[in-house]
Structure 1
Amino acid sequence: MKVLLINGSPHREGCTHTALAEIAAELQKQGVESTEFWIGPAPQGGCLGCGGCARTGRCVQKDKVNEALELLGEVDGLIVGTPVHYAAASGSVTGFLDRLFYAGSASLRYKPAAAVASARRAGTTAALDQLNKYFTFNQMPLVSSQYWNMVHGTCPDEVRQDAEGLQIMRQLARNMAWMLRCIEAGKAAGVPLPETEEKVRTNFIR
């Protein structure tokens, strides 16, 4: 079993990474492998609405999104970490996820997912609500912890002093490992995936 950890911060080893590293360490204790994918400091543009990904399964913009798409088939779960900018996920995370989910939704469907937010003080719950919408739109079971998935601090050393936040990360990792084992046991017992109807699209203006 393997979980993809997306680091949506422009700082490779900043506060978001510190939270994800705590998750990765606990996942390892639970016998679950993880890979941290850093989207990098370059701005990640939003979707162009060109429809190219529907034909190829890849984004026409040649950047980190396509690198991440290559990993989706190898993982069983997803955790997205973001810094908080103005009570929301960063612009790069938003652009990245818009395109990742447009192009890779089939590879992510039914895989457990969670969002993690890092902030100095506030705005985390709004950012988590924003990110969770990607998962629920795509039929991905949400993995929770014992509180909202957030850490606080202006630098990694301050995040490491957030004892409650780090505990939340560890419990999130344990809950992810448990859900992955449950899904694996269900597959072994012959439990099929839910039947999915063909999507109906109702436009409000006709």
Structure 2
Amino acid sequence: MEPSEEIVTNIRDSWEGDNDAFGRVYETILGISEYTGHNDIAEIARCAPNTAKKHLKRLNQMGIAECQSSHWSLAFRRNDAYLEWREVTQIAEEHSVQDLAERVRKLETKESELQEEFGVEGPDTASVYASNSDRPTHELMQAIGTWNGIQRDIRLYEAARQLQQNDGNLISAFVEIPSDDHAPAESQ
């Protein structure tokens, strides 16, 4: 599946100036969500296929791109986990631990309200037809979409809070590691 013409146009417009082939391939892959052949990516990035393949392999090693290979070609797409990590670090840089904790509390309150309204644990099992709400169907559909966004935001803001709280690590450096003293004795 080829990226939309709008994506291609936006990427090419951003290349004004001194953007090299690596930069163009990088920007191209960020706009591609479906596995796309390296030849097609090269065409979009306006570089030779071998150049695109070399840079895509590097982006794959960096965790920015995912790769799928067949017998005769390589296909790549962006790694959404990388983009999510970038978003988490940006949120962590822009907010204090207290701000992040307050934001998570507000989001969790809103999620609880939606759980009560729909009578289910999450938006994946929510139904506009099984709801006890008096709201019109289109508003219930919007609420389910909002609920998906709330869950995503909770995950991102909580990860950013942990990152802030633990000096840039998602796991605290002060986590106790069990000593061998408490390990079960080996049978001889």
The TM tier, using the shorter chain, reads: under 0.3
Name whichever structure is richer in strand by fraction: 1
Larger radius of gyration: 2
Normalising by structure 2, report the TM-score.
0.26
Name whichever structure is richer in helix by fraction: 2
